[in-house]
């Protein structure tokens, strides 16, 4: 074998797709687990909230705004790490449902100040209970989720302290 000859990772006579090297399996296992967790979370959350017609991202927006009344949409984007157009769309939908009040900021007519309505607060309470149930379910059914939650709490504590 010369210096420029690539090392074969496939056994002679085997097709590349037949080999299962750990480096190729591991990313797919992680991606499959993440897809499964997302599907399980979405389906379970929809079941737990019943006819409320609210999603996990909408719950995240309501929770951020409830925690910081008068928050701007731009600040909400930074808090929950969802892109600008998605947050704007979620805020419009929540306002149409009567769960969020949006009004133009006096200092900047381009920006919105947002606040959870009384009805939105009740919806949020139910949605947060459903989200907690989803988290418990994920911890029990998806490998590694419990560890991820511990790491997230540790990061939040370190950031706050």
| 15 belongs to a structural domain | no
| 10 belongs to a structural domain | no
pTM of the model: 0.69
* CA–CA distance, 91 with 8 (Å, rounded to integer): 54
| Residue-number span of the structural domain to which 52 is assigned | 41-160
- CATH, residue 146: 1.10.10.10
Q: How many domains, in total, are found in the chain?
A: 1
| 19 belongs to a structural domain | no
pLDDT tens-digit profile, the chain (161 residues): 444 444 344 444 445 554 455 555 556 777 888 889 999 999 999 999 999 999 999 999 999 999 998 888 888 888 888 888 999 899 999 999 999 998 887 777 777 788 999 999 999 999 999 999 999 999 888 877 666 666 666 777 777 76
Report the DSSP beta bridge partners of residue 87.
none
| 58 belongs to a structural domain | yes
């Amino acid at each position: 074998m010369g210096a420029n000859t690539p090392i074969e990772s496939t056994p002679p006579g085997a097709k590349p797709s037949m080999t299962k090297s750990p480096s190729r399996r591991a990313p797919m296992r992680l991606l499959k687990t993440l897809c499964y967790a997302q599907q399980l979370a979405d389906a379970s959350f929809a079941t737990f909230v019943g006819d409320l017609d609210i999603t996990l991202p909408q719950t995240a927006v309501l929770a951020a705004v409830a925690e910081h009344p008068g928050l701007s949409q731009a600040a909400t984007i930074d808090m929950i790490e969802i892109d600008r157009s998605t947050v704007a769309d979620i805020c419009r939908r929540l306002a149409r449902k009567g769960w969020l009040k949006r009004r133009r900021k006096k200092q900047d007519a381009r920006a919105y100040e947002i606040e959870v309505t009384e009805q939105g607060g009740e919806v949020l309470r139910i949605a947060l209970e459903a989200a907690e149930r989803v988290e418990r379910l994920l911890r029990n059914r998806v490998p590694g989720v419990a560890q991820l939650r511990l790491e997230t709490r540790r990061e939040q504590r370190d950031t706050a302290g």
